[in-house]
């Protein structure tokens, strides 16, 4: 059975009318925005209710909106002279929502439909309820988001880094994380162990070379 996007949209509005902050239909897929406080209740209904049956959690993605709205490559076509695309003047960002968001990608195998659920997270707390009790597969997804963005999932059974090393400093998917990192590792022959040192590479801005 395949349900149309319009029918799913109506079902979501009927079920969560007071909890939906926004519903976006883009590229024939729905994205709903809700508050962090309503997250567990909404996800449980989406998983268990016969009208939705989103039994599978495909992914959990963190998003950093720090530079959202900034435009330093303002052009729609290639110019014949100069380097207009490399100009340094940036338009001011108009982003007014919290900097971080968490997006849950859900799939209903039974009804052959998908939906994204987005919640924004306050930077002061970075706290989001863990959904491991709803989908056990969320365990590593949440650890990845914690490792790369610094998002904290309240109730997670073992929240620790997943992709970076134990001594890693910072969260590499944040937009303000330095491109070259903060530490470099090498093996020391005298100590016969790996040691960490501040990076010795100087950060530089690369300007694309245009060949005509």
Question: What is the DSSP track for 19-73?
Answer: T-SEEEEETTEEEEE--GGGHHHHHHHHHHSTTT---EEEEEEEEE-TTTT--S-
Are 163 and 141 in contact by the 8 Å Cβ rule? The answer is no
C-alpha atoms less than 13 angstroms from C-alpha of 96 in its C-beta half-sphere: 1
Judged by DSSP in three states, 190 sits in coil
SS3 135: coil
More confident site: 197 or 128: 128
The pLDDT value given to residue 81: 54
Express each pLDDT in 154-167 by its tens digit.
Answer: 999 999 999 988 77
Does the pTM surpass 0.75? The reply is: yes
The architecture of the domain spanning 5-164 is 2-Layer Sandwich (3.30)
**12-44 burial string, b = 16+ CB within 10 Å, else e?**
beeebeebbeeeeeeeeebbbbbebebbeebbe
**Which residues share a beta bridge with 188?**
193
CB-based contacts of 59, cutoff 8 Å, min separation 6: 104, 105, 141
The model's confidence at residue 105, banded by pLDDT at 50, 70 and 90, is very high
Domain spans of the chain? 5-164
Across the range 183-192, mean pLDDT stands at 88
Residue 90, pLDDT above cutoff 60: no
Task: Please state the rounded mean pLDDT for residues 20-46.
Answer: 94
Q: Rounded mean pLDDT of the chain?
A: 86
pLDDT value of position 60: 98
Query: Residue 156: helix, strand or coil by DSSP?
Result: coil
| Long-range Cβ contact pairs of 197-203 (< 8 A, separation 24 or more) | 203/178, 203/179
The stretch 192-203 carries a mean pLDDT of 82
pLDDT-derived band at 79 (thresholds 50, 70, 90) equals: low
């Amino acid at each position: 059975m395949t349900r149309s996007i319009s029918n799913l949209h109506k079902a979501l509005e009927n079920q969560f009318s007071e909890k939906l902050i926004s519903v976006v239909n883009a590229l024939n897929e729905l994205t709903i925005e809700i508050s962090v406080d309503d997250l567990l209740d909404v996800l449980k209904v989406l998983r268990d209710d016969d009208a939705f049956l989103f039994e599978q959690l495909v992914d959990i993605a963190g998003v950093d909106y720090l530079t959202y709205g900034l435009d330093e490559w303002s052009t729609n076509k290639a110019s014949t002279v100069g380097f207009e695309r490399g100009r340094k003047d940036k338009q001011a960002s108009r982003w007014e929502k919290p900097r971080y968001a968490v997006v849950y990608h859900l799939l209903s195998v039974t009804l052959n439909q998908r939906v994204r659920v987005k919640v924004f997270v306050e930077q002061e707390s970075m706290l989001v309820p863990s959904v491991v009790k709803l989908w056990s597969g969320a365990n590593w997804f949440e650890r990845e988001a914690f490792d790369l963005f610094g998002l904290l999932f309240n109730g997670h059974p073992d929240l620790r880094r997943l992709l970076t090393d134990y001594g890693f400093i910072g969260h590499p998917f944040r937009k303000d994380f330095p491109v070259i990192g903060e530490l470099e590792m090498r093996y020391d022959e005298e100590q016969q162990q790996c040691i960490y040192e501040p990076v010795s590479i100087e950060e530089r801005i690369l300007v694309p070379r245009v060949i005509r």
